[in-house]
């Protein structure tokens, strides 16, 4: 798991954030995860074609 520097944040708050992220991940529909994983290669090719500009949300 990646570690982020929650500067000035208590250990309790850090655990709350981790638990919230785990909960949200567990609630995410598997179909959504699969769709984004399957589209990764196509999205990578599009970013390369656009010169590194991510225009997915444009």
Residue 5 lies in a domain: no
Please tell me the pTM assigned to this model.
0.51
Decide: helix, strand or coil at residue 14: helix
Residue span of the structural domain in which 44 resides: 29-53
26-34-2 Cα angle (round to 5): 55
Which token pair is 13? 């708050």
pLDDT of 21 reads: 93
- Taking the chain (58 residues) in runs of 10, the rounded mean pLDDT of each run is 68 90 95 88 87 74
How many structural domains are present in the chain? 1
Residue 39 lies in a domain: yes
């Amino acid at each position: 798991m990646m570690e982020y520097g929650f500067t000035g944040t208590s250990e309790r708050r850090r655990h709350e954030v981790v638990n919230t992220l785990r909960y949200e991940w567990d609630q995410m529909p598997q179909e959504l995860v699969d769709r984004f994983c399957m589209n990764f290669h196509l999205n990578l090719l599009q970013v390369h074609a656009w010169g590194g500009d991510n225009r997915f949300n444009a």
